[in-house]
């Protein structure tokens, strides 16, 4: 049986880990990307293996184009007959601040990780999909990129940029049976929301709860599947009805 490969950027924790585990259970060999937390990346790989799947960790900073192309290029050389048929662009950071107080670094680093990261990874791996005439790209964006969030001008801009890129790229590659979609989580229980007063925000969520990473992973799994072959350029909202 031919081995199928999926890359999950920012796959060591939170939503990325949940997606990696879900795709691993679907038979994909998972490339778990991480930047610094090797212990968590190792745990994600182990969880996938313990669940009967196959995975390996792969370290690079998505914001660094040279690093992305060097590391992924080396992987492709070592796996000459293979290609990565699924890309999950999940890597992202937040550095919240009001715009009037926001530093250049807070602005630049957030955009570099989400928006430049999408560009660096996707452009480099897209050729393989085009040659094989098949691929699935799912970008993890955010409620912030859809409606904007006070104190997150940088994060909202980065995710909104990825949403626009999703819609444009979907049109470019549709003829080659490559779909490009996005999922936009709302408030999900992860490290990124650990400092939020959950009880306060639950009051404005129709379902009156935060979501779980596994609920995001389930939507991603569908978009990656063959059953979703006629869905492209879409943004799936996963927010408990907060923004409808």
Q: Which residue in 28, 155, 201, 243 is the catalytic one?
A: 155
Q: How far is CA 95 from the centre of its chain?
A: 18
Q: Is 155 noted as a catalytic residue in this protein?
A: yes
**Residue 157 CA to chain centroid, in angstroms?**
16
Q: Pseudo-torsion of CA 196, 99, 143, 125, nearest 10°? A: -110
Contacts of 38 by beta carbon, 8 Å cutoff, 6+ apart: 57, 59
Beta strands of 26-176 (E only): which ranges?
28-34, 54-59, 84-89, 135-140
Write out the H or E segment, with its range, that includes residue 184.
strand 178-185
* C-alpha distances out from residue 63 to 35, 115, 143, 210, 234, Å: 10, 8, 22, 29, 24
Cα angle 114, 105, 13 (rounded to 5 degrees) comes to 40
Burial 90-107 (b: 16+ CB within 10 A, else e): bbbbbbbeeeeebeeebb
Contact criterion met (CB below 8 Å) for 89 and 10? no
Mind telling me the catalytic residues?
A: 155
């Amino acid at each position: 049986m031919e081995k199928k490969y999926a890359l999950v950027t920012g796959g060591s924790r939170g939503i990325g880990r949940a997606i990696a585990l879900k795709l691993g259970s679907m038979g994909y060999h998972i490339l778990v990307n991480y930047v610094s937390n090797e212990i968590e990346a190792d745990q994600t790989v182990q969880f996938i293996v313990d669940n009967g799947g196959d995975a390996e960790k792969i370290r690079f900073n998505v914001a660094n184009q040279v690093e992305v192309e060097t590391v992924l290029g080396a992987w492709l050389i070592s796996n000459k007959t293979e290609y990565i048929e699924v890309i999950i662009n999940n890597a992202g950071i937040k550095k919240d601040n009001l715009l009037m107080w926001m530093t250049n670094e807070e602005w630049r680093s957030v955009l570099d990780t989400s928006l430049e990261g999408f560009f660096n990874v996707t452009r480099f791996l897209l050729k393989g999909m085009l040659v094989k005439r098949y691929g699935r790209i799912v970008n993890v964006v955010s409620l912030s990129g859809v409606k904007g969030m006070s104190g997150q001008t940088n994060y909202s801009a980065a995710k909104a940029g990825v949403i626009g890129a999703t819609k444009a790229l979907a049109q470019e590659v549709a003829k080659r049976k490559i779909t490009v979609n996005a999922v936009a989580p709302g408030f999900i229980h992860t490290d990124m929301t650990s400092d939020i007063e959950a009880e306060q925000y639950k009051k404005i969520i129709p379902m009156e709860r935060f979501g779980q990473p596994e609920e995001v992973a389930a939507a991603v799994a569908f978009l990656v599947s063959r059953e979703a072959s006629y869905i492209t350029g879409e943004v799936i909202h996963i927010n408990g009805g907060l923004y409808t």
